[in-house]
């Protein structure tokens, strides 16, 4: 029944996706957004960019780590927002997360407003266990 | 912006009277965006896919108070659009259960513009 409403692309994706591994995680999973603070974006701009990051991270992870995403959605989809210094800083943190096998998603702005086209605005990490995220995002300031 | 009136879009409408911090607004908008996307993937699968392919356009707008937010939510539902009201868990800044953000869409840009055209960008 779900196949009928899911669309061909999603259906093929599901058929070919790797099987979820291991038991579902038990802790309260989190998603962390590292915002490029060097760009001086307005509040609404930041909100939209973080929104992009959340949707992208969720949909990407839904294919690769379905159990993580389900557990995160069921526990109230916890999110926090922290400040990164600039694009290079965001990229460094992204690489660290990838090394620890934490799902990541990066958002480049289309540049219709406020900032140059293609700027790296947000890197999203997770959903992941807070203890995994702590070493990477713990030292960063909340936005 | 170089997009046609038929291109799908999403509107995130934030309550201006709560005076939330930047990080709080961003997180609340992200809640709305994810909840709307997850719901729309089931109810409007093709439109949601088209929205993603065309850059997952989102716009962040402000509204004066809860009454107006709820009225807008009602109008959007009557228009057959995907909507989601975000209730804050209230760990910080506001009382638990406070409605902070309304997400509308992804939906046809024309129908969403007709509802939110009067609102100012946040």
Is this structure's pTM higher than 0.80?
yes
Across the interface, of A5, A43, A51, the residue whose CB is closest to B58 is: A51
Chosen for mutation from A8, A43, A57, A106 (greatest number of chain B CBs closer than 10 Å) is: A43
In this prediction, residue A16 carries a pLDDT of 67
Question: Angle, nearest 10°, between helix axes A8-16 and B45-53?
Answer: 80
Please write the tens of the pLDDT for every residue from B52-82: 999 999 999 999 999 999 999 999 999 999 9
Phi, psi of B67 (to 5 degrees): -55, -50
What is the Cα–Cα distance from B106 to B53, expressed in whole angstroms?
12
Which residues between 39 and 58 in chain B have a beta carbon less than 8 angstroms from any beta carbon of chain A?
41-43, 45-46, 49, 52, 55-56, 58
Please report, for chain A, the start and end positions of each structural domain, with discontinuous segments joined by +: 30-137
Across the interface, of B30, B42, B52, the residue whose CB is closest to A54 is: B30
Within an 8 Å CB–CB cutoff, is residue B80 touching chain A? no
Chain A residues with CB-CB distance to B41 below 8 A? 6, 10
In this prediction, the answer to ipTM > 0.85 reads yes
Within an 8 Å CB–CB cutoff, is residue A54 touching chain B? yes
* Closest chain A CA to residue B36: A55
Q: At residue A5, does pLDDT exceed 90? A: no
| B101: helix, strand or coil | strand
Q: At residue B39, does pLDDT exceed 70? A: yes
- CB contact (8 A) between residue A51 and residue B43: no
- Nearest C-alpha neighbor of B34 from the set A36, A101, A143, A60: A60
Q: At residue A20, does pLDDT exceed 60? A: no
| A99: helix, strand or coil | helix
What is the Cα–Cα distance from A55 to A62, expressed in whole angstroms?
10
* Third-level CATH fold of B8-121: Bit1 (3.40.1490)
CB B51 within 8 A of CB B8: yes
Q: What is the DSSP letter of A138?
A: T
CATH of domain A30-137: 3.40.1490.10
Please report, for chain B, the start and end positions of each structural domain, with discontinuous segments joined by +: 8-121
């Amino acid at each position: 029944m779900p196949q009928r409403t899911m669309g061909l692309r999603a259906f093929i994706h599901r058929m070919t996706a790797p099987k979820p591994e291991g038991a579902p995680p038990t802790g309260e999973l989190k998603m962390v957004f590292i915002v490029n603070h060097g760009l001086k974006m307005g509040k609404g701009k930041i909100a939209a960019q973080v929104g992009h990051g959340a949707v992208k991270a969720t949909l990407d992870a839904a294919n690769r780590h379905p159990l993580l995403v389900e557990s995160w959605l069921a526990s109230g989809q916890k999110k926090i927002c922290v400040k990164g210094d600039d694009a290079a800083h965001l990229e460094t943190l992204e690489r660290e997360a990838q090394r620890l096998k934490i799902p990541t998603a990066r958002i480049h702005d289309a540049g219709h407003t406020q900032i140059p086209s293609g700027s790296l605005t947000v890197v999203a990490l997770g959903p992941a266990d807070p203890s995994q995220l702590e070493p990477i995002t713990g030292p960063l300031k909340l936005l | 912006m170089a997009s046609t009136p038929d291109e799908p879009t999403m509107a995130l409408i934030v309550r201006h009277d709560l005076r939330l911090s930047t990080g709080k607004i961003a997180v609340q908008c992200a809640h709305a965006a994810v909840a709307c996307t997850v719901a729309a993937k089931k109810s409007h699968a093709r439109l949601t896919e088209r929205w993603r392919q065309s850059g997952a356009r989102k716009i962040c707008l402000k509204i004066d108070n809860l009454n107006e937010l709820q009225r807008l939510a009602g109008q959007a539902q009557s228009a057959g659009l995907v909507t989601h009201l975000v209730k804050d868990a209230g760990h910080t800044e506001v009382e638990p259960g406070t409605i902070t953000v309304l997400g509308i869409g992804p939906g046809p840009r024309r129908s969403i513009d007709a509802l939110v055209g009067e609102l100012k960008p946040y």
